[in-house]
Each structure stands twice: as C-alpha cells, then as structure tokens.
Chains A and B, each alone.
Chain A
Amino acid sequence: MKIWTILQRQSIKTKMVLAFLSVSILSVLLSGVFSNLYYSRAAEKEFFNVSSEAINRLNYHLDYYYNQLQQSTLSLIQNDVVQDWLRSESDANADIQNVEKELRRYLALNYSEIQGMFLISKSHKAVSMSQSFAKPSLISGEPWIKLPLSPVIRIIPTHTAGYEGADGRQVISVLLPIFDKESLDLIGTLMIDISLHELDQSFKSSQLGGSATLFILADDDRIVYHPNEAWNGLPKQQTGLATLQIPDHEMASLQRFQGTDYLIASARSQVTGWRTVSLVRFDEMAVGISSARFSVILALGVITLLIVMIVPLLSNRFVNPILRLMSLMRQVGKGDLSVQTKSVPGQDELQQLFYSFNQMVQRLDELVASNTSLQFKEMQAELRQKQALIKALQNQINPHLLYNTLGIIKSIAYLEKVPAIERMARNLADVYRYTAYFSEMEVFLKDELEQLRKYLEIVHIRFPKHFQSQFFINEKFLQCRVVKLILQPIVENAVKYAIEQRGGEGVVIVSAYQDKEDLIIEVADNGPGIDETELHRIEGLLRQISAKLDQDYGDHDSLGIPNVHARLVLKYGGEYGVKITTFAGRGTVVSLRIPLYPEQYRTTG
C-alpha cells in the first residue's frame, strides 16, 4: 500500500520506465524459466533414449552371448564320451580322462573367458578339465554343486570361484541341462563359469558419458556386475548403492543420491531376468541445459541493459510532448491565452492532443474575449444606469427651486451686504449646476479647476481660519481635455477624511505634471492617512474595476474614488485611472493618470 502510494506520486516518466522494465524483465525471466524447464525435459528424454538404447543393446549382447554359449556346448553335450560318463558315472580314471580331454578340447576351441567347466552327474559327481580342478574338497563350497538338476538353463550371479585354477576370481555360473540323447532323460548338468571379463568388455564398449555407471542387478538385488569390483557378488544393501531406488519401468527418473542429482534408467534381461542399470550425474547430462541457461541469462542481461538505456529515451520521446503541454497548460492557467503550439496533422494521439489543445485555447480565448467584452458592456450599461439614477436624483431636487432659492439667498446677501453668503450661494449654485449637467463629455482642465476653486471656496468659508488649498498647475496643461467631474469627488473625499476630521486644520494641494505621454494630477492632503484595511479594500476595488470584472462598483460610493476610477478606465483604458498613496499620520496622495494629447499640448505650449 505504501509502495503503491509512493509509486503514484512519481512522474509519469518514472512510472513508464518502471512499468517497461518490470514487464521486460518478467518476460525475460519467464522465458528463462520455461526454456530451463523444457531443456531439462529434453535432456531427460535424451538421456532415457541414449541409456535405454545402451542398456538394451547390452542386454541383447549378453543374451546373445548366453545363447551362443549354449549352442556351442551342444556338440560337447551330445559327445558320446560325455553321455556315457554321465550315464555310467564311472570312476574309472580312463573314462574321466577321456571326458576331461573332451572338455579341454571344447575350451581350447571356444571362449577364453571361460574360467572353468564342470560336468555334474545326477549324483553330483563332477568332472572338470583336469583332476585337480574337480577335487570334491575344493568344489564343495561352490553354489552350484548341490543344486538339483533342472531342465532349464540357470545362471548364478556373480560369486567367487573357489576351486583350483580359478584363483578366487569372480565368476558367473551358467548351468546347462544335459539330456540323454537316446532316452531324453535328464542325466546331468554342464556348469560353465564365465569370468566377468567378458561383461567388463561389453560394458566398457557401452559407455554413456564420462561418469556414467552401468551395473547389473540380479533378481535378488545382488550385484552382478559393477565397475567397482569390490561390490560384485554382494547384495545391493551392503554396498554404497543401498539408498538407490531402482525403477522397474524403463523411463528415466531423476533421483537425488548422495547429494547429487542422478538420472537412472534400467532394463530387464529376458534370459537372465537381471536388470541392467545406468546411472548418470544429471549435471553432466545437462551440460546443454546450463549452456542454454547461460545464454538465457546473457540475453536477459543484454535485454535489461537495452531496456535501461532505451526505455528512458523512449519514454522521453512520449513524455516530452506531455511535459511541453503541461508547461503550456501552466501558462494558460496563469491566464496567458495567446499560447499556441506547433501541431503536425496526423493520427498520432499526441498530435491530436496538441491540435485539440490549440483548439481549446483558441476557443477559450474567444470565449474569454467575448465574455470580457460582455462584462465590459454590462459595466458600461451599469454605469449608464448609475448616471441615469444620479440624473433622476438630481431631477428630484427641483432645479428651479434649488437655483431660485440660492438666487434669493444670494440676493438677500447682496442687499444686506454679506459678501460671504453671496459668494457661498453663488458657488454652491455653480457647483450644483456643474454637477447637474454630469455627463461623460470631456472638458478643459481649466474648467475642471475653475469648478474646483468654487467648491474649495465653500470649504474656505466653512473653515475660514486654518484651511488652506493650493494649486500648482502649469498653464500649459490648462487646455488638456479631461473627463468631466473627476477632481471634485477626489477633493471632496480629501476634505471629508482629512480636513473635516481635524476641524478644518489642513491643506489640500492640487498639482499636475507630465509623465511621458500621460498627465498626472495629484490631490494631496496632510490628513491622518487612510488605514490599511480600508486602503486594501479600495485598492482591491480599483484593481477589479481595471480588470473590468467588478460589476457592483457603483454600489460603494456614488461619486467617490471608485466611480472616478471607473470612468477614467472606461474612457481611456485599463492603464489609466486612480492611484492612492497614503502615509499614516502624514497624509494621502491620490493621483489621476490620464493621457496627455500631444496636439493639445502643442496648441497651448
């Protein structure tokens, strides 16, 4: 879970690299595992084929050998001397010597590997190639001497021959039945001891790889032949092979034996009933497998290396356009809707994405533009409504009554010779008349200042002693065109917050200067300054108006700073308007920025 969340936080690039890597490595590993498995199977099968072929060949070879041996003894068995002796069982030296002669002749003509030959009669009398061999005392320990006659061929597995001339060699005894050639009665047995030499030869010709071991087990699990001669003749249990399980079927099987994996296969001989077993160390057999495994590991390494090198490049190729799109999106997020990116037409999803992005931004830009213009229009409409409202309010005060009353007041003042009242009434009437014809038209700065003087004169009359007002305006600016009624609201504001608060003790300074192509008019007072929260509020309002977003600006002040700002912005554009600078306890400067028309500047300059 933790790893998952960590993964989720990674960049898409990392995720892609990780995903690619894990998928590739997994597939390489899987192919390795499968190839390993199949290679093992194949090796087993191959071993089985090879070993079963070898074992069968060996069995056949041995069987054939026994048959040959039997065939070759036929003449000896049917020899009259042998038949007669078996019938008579004579102890006559001559007879025995004749038999011995026949046996020797046979031996001389046949197999060199025959260790010894004995003719055994019904009464277990034995004759060999020489008298010395057949001494009853010497042969009494042989396993075959006491065996009753049998009509079938018998083979006694490996044992040590104890008689003279055998020298304690290990032999296999083959017991061949002898029948009377006339009566066909069983009259004796021919016993041939074959030295293991013959087997040794056969086995040596049937090698299966370097460490392969071939051995023969008799029915009773006695070892007939094993390359380790010390084990020959011993039961399997008494040898190092005790723990080995010999399978009955011919299929090869894999067994762990003495800490090593071995492949075992066996086959049973038809003649002897013995099992020939082949035992091969698995790793020897699976040299091919390990080389295959090595090649798989090598391939895996190469692939991994390639993945590590190529996947980041590849993912870069995919991710980079996304990153570019992301940075563009960020720009769009910041409000830059002029962003466009190169888009090549095509079916590529990324190309499609870029194309769609361009479309979207363009559409967004159009929407925003139309929305802004709508808002702008709405704001203008609102402003007009506001003006209409002001006009309606102005009309509510019957202008005739107002001006007439002021005229009467002024007349009385004139007649009574009170010039202060006369001036005040006159100025008030003028200020009202100027305000009453409130419109968006532009007037000369001169007219605006003239009006301001009248207003300030009223303030002077109100605060006759301490109030001061000063104008520092170069004559060359007097013919500049400005929106009507922009100064009086600002000065009224200054009077309200800076002068009235201090009982009239204060200064209002109106000045103008040129800043590049603009005219800056400043209204400064030495009042307490605007407190921070209020300043923030007003500045926020001004910014909103500049951004043409605030639709309720008119609700705040009927003819205050925001209204002046809104009218300047509407008339001249967003870079113009009102700016406030305040110094706590020392005063406030409200500056108006308006464009200074060069032609008017020339005409008066």
Chain B
Amino acid sequence: MFQVLVAEDEVWIRDAIAEMIDRLAPQFNVVGEVGSGEEAWNFIQEHWPSIVVTDIMMPHRNGLWLSEQIHRMSLPIVTMIVSGYDNFQYAKQAMRYGITEYLLKPLEEEELHDALKRSVQKLEGMAELHEGVHKIQHFIDRLPDMDRQTLNAEVQALLAYIYRLKSGAPGARKSQLALLSAKWNEMFRAVDQEHTFLPFTEEDEQGVRKYFADLADAWLLRYPQFANQSVKASIKKVCDYINVHYFENFSLTRLADMSHLSVSYFSTLFKKTTGQTCLNYINGVRIQKAKELLHEPDLKIYEIADMVGYTSLPYFNRMFKQIVAVTPIEYRKRLGL
C-alpha cells in the first residue's frame, strides 16, 4: 500500500483528487490533504508518504518549492504535479526536480490512475529507502526518552541498517545519513537554541560513526537540562485548545507557534505526549464530535462536517470512514436514525 499526500489549495479539486486516488484502494491510500507547500512539507517530515500529488500555484510555498525540497534531500518520494498551466517553463523546472508526471487540470480520473500505475515500479524500488526514512523518523521520535545505553545501541543499529541498504546508489545511503543528521540537528536546535549545527561531511564509515557518536554525546550532555515539565504542559495546553476549538482551521505551524516550539520538536513532543501525530489527534477529536452530532437527526451530514471543521464533505466522509470504518450515513443508519 502506497501512502499519498495531496497538496492543493482548491478544496474541491483536492477532494476530487483524493477521491480519485482512493478509488484505487487498497493499493493507493490518501493519508493527508493539505492546502499549501509548507503544510505539505511539514506533513512529509512527519508522515513520510510514498507519493506527493501537488498543485503548482499554492499559497505559502508553491508546488515547485515543495518539489525542490524533496529533490534536494533525495527523499524516496514520487512527486506528481497537477497544474492548470501547461506552461513549458514549469514543466522544464519540474523535470529538473526529477518529476516525470506532469498532469493537466482539469484532471481526468483515468489520467491520474494511469500516472499512479506507472509509478508503481519506481515506488517498489524505493521501498527499502522508504523503510529507512521511517526508521529514522521513529528514532528521532524516541530520542527524548532514550538513555545513553539505549541511544548508543539504537544509533549503532540504525547505522548498520543504513549501511546494509541494498539500493545500489551511493547517493541513497548518503541521503539517509544526511537526513538522519539533519533531523537530529534540527531536534537538537529545537531543544537548545545555542546548539551549533554540526555539518555532516564525512565520507567513510569510520568518520560517519564517529560523527554520530559525537552527536549522541552532545545530545546526552545537553538534552536532560531542557527536558522539563513545562514543555509537556504546553503540549497539554495545545491539546486542550484543540478539544475546544476543533472546528477551527489548524495548521502544524500555528499550533507549534502556540507552544513556542519549532514545528519538528513540537510534532515529536506531541507524538511523545499523546501517542499520535498532531493531525491524527485533531481528526480524532473532530470525528468523535461528529459521531456525537450524528445522533441529532435534524442535522444534515454536510452541516456536521462543517460544524466539526471540515471544509468539504468528501474529506469528512473519508476521514470518518478511516477512523470509524463506516461512512457517516452508514453510522447514522446503524444508530437507527
């Protein structure tokens, strides 16, 4: 199963794209829908989808910026562009970012399906790297909880895993190591503002191991000083806010700002504190509220979707089905209403 992120500022078009992709379930599954490049990037950093379907013209970082980010970090992600502009300049730039699927709006279901099917082989080739990325993410998420012994063991295991990667390209291994370095440094910096980013330049395995050993030492030395209760309280405060204001329009950036944390640290802390990602937490709250509202027979489904903060009915339906396993209509039927 390949997880797909849809980045498109037009809600209806985004919903239609998501719907089209979901019709190819279970092979493809939409895990996220975002309306800007920045949100998309935040989502990727946390959820690591296999495929990103993005529009070009979007507020807060456009699709080309997003594509560039993915390409620059050599992330194991297949990017597809959906654009209303069959402008050759965009197509050329997209090609430079290694994008082979450039689809025109209005998007035909068939075209998108064909493009997704075409990318399967590429995705299968990336599967190992993708797993690696997930492992790195998992390691980063658990960093705050690890003691010296665990940390050293985990680092050794992760590096060993990366060095075992079969994907031949030496660039692939290097990109994984670079990603690990970048994410760890970022986390470090989120905790300790005085932390100076240690540039990752090592070439040989010996040097790499030493680099990460040094980074682990520095982390163990500095982190306990910042791991205090106030941080956890601020996460709790955000959760309380979401519980009350679930119908509002949230973005990760906005929530991180509320707790005076960086987005990545906030997500890590959020996940550590609540056991799920921030986005999933929001959806959980909203769907729970929706379930309650579905007991009110006078309320129409789309009214409920709107009341709990979903801008479009299809998105709501999909999310509801993902969490509750049935559609809102079926749910209501089961209630006997």
Query: Would A411 and B12 be within 8 Å (CB), given that A404-B84, A406-B106 are in contact?
Result: yes
Flag whether A429 is at the interface (Cβ < 8 A): yes
Could you tell me the distance between the alpha carbons of A363 and B107 in the complex, rounded to whole angstroms?
63
Flag whether B57 is at the interface (Cβ < 8 A): yes
User: In chain A between 109 and 125, which residues have their CB closer than 8 angstroms to a CB of chain B?
Assistant: none
On whether the beta carbons of A414 and B84 are closer than 8 Å, the reply is: no
Flag whether A403 is at the interface (Cβ < 8 A): yes
Could you tell me the distance between the alpha carbons of A119 and B12 in the complex, rounded to whole angstroms?
184
Q: Type the 1/0 row for B293-324, where 1 means its CB is closer than 8 Å to any CB of A.
A: 00000000000000000000110000000000
Please give me the residue from chain A that is nearest to B19 by CB atom: A415
On whether the beta carbons of B108 and A426 are closer than 8 Å, the reply is: yes
Flag whether A412 is at the interface (Cβ < 8 A): yes
On whether the beta carbons of A411 and B106 are closer than 8 Å, the reply is: yes
User: In chain B between 92 and 148, which residues have their CB closer than 8 angstroms to a CB of chain A?
Assistant: 105-109
B86 cross-chain contacts in A, Cβ below 8 A:
433
Contact of B106 among A399, A400, A415, A425 (CB under 8 A): A425
Contact of A404 among B16, B17, B105 (CB under 8 A): B105
Flag whether B20 is at the interface (Cβ < 8 A): yes
What's the minimum C-beta distance from A224 to chain B, rounded to whole angstroms?
A: 146
Could you tell me the distance between the alpha carbons of A17 and B51 in the complex, rounded to whole angstroms?
106
Could you tell me the distance between the alpha carbons of A399 and B104 in the complex, rounded to whole angstroms?
14
On whether the beta carbons of A407 and B10 are closer than 8 Å, the reply is: yes
B38 cross-chain contacts in A, Cβ below 8 A:
none
Report the tally of A-B residue pairs with Cβ distances under 8 A: 49
A268 cross-chain contacts in B, Cβ below 8 A:
none
What's the minimum C-beta distance from A419 to chain B, rounded to whole angstroms?
A: 10
On whether the beta carbons of B16 and A415 are closer than 8 Å, the reply is: yes
Contact of B12 among A399, A412, A426, A433 (CB under 8 A): A412
Flag whether A549 is at the interface (Cβ < 8 A): no
A408 cross-chain contacts in B, Cβ below 8 A:
10, 12-13
On whether the beta carbons of A400 and B105 are closer than 8 Å, the reply is: no
Contact of B13 among A399, A400, A407, A433 (CB under 8 A): A407
What's the minimum C-beta distance from B313 to chain A, rounded to whole angstroms?
A: 8
B46 cross-chain contacts in A, Cβ below 8 A:
none
Flag whether B33 is at the interface (Cβ < 8 A): no
Could you tell me the distance between the alpha carbons of A407 and B20 in the complex, rounded to whole angstroms?
14
On whether the beta carbons of A414 and B10 are closer than 8 Å, the reply is: no
Pick the most buried of B10, B84, B86: most chain A CB atoms within 10 A of its CB. Answer: B84
Flag whether A410 is at the interface (Cβ < 8 A): yes
What's the minimum C-beta distance from A206 to chain B, rounded to whole angstroms?
A: 138
User: In chain B between 76 and 95, which residues have their CB closer than 8 angstroms to a CB of chain A?
Assistant: 84-86
Could you tell me the distance between the alpha carbons of A201 and B19 in the complex, rounded to whole angstroms?
167
B13 cross-chain contacts in A, Cβ below 8 A:
404, 407-408, 411
On whether the beta carbons of B16 and A414 are closer than 8 Å, the reply is: yes
On whether the beta carbons of B84 and A400 are closer than 8 Å, the reply is: yes
Contact of A403 among B16, B19, B106, B109 (CB under 8 A): B106
Contact of A400 among B57, B108, B109, B313 (CB under 8 A): B57
Could you tell me the distance between the alpha carbons of A399 and B105 in the complex, rounded to whole angstroms?
12
On whether the beta carbons of B84 and A407 are closer than 8 Å, the reply is: yes
On whether the beta carbons of A407 and B105 are closer than 8 Å, the reply is: yes
Contact of B314 among A399, A406, A407, A415 (CB under 8 A): A415
> Which A-B residue pairs are the 9 nearest by beta carbons?
A411-B16, A410-B106, A403-B84, A407-B106, A411-B12, A407-B105, A411-B13, A408-B12, A414-B16
Contact sample, A vs B, 22 pairs, CB 8 Å cutoff: A400-B57, A400-B85, A403-B105, A404-B84, A404-B105, A407-B10, A407-B13, A407-B105, A407-B106, A408-B12, A408-B13, A410-B16, A411-B13, A412-B12, A414-B19, A415-B12, A415-B15, A415-B19, A415-B313, A415-B314, A425-B106, A429-B106
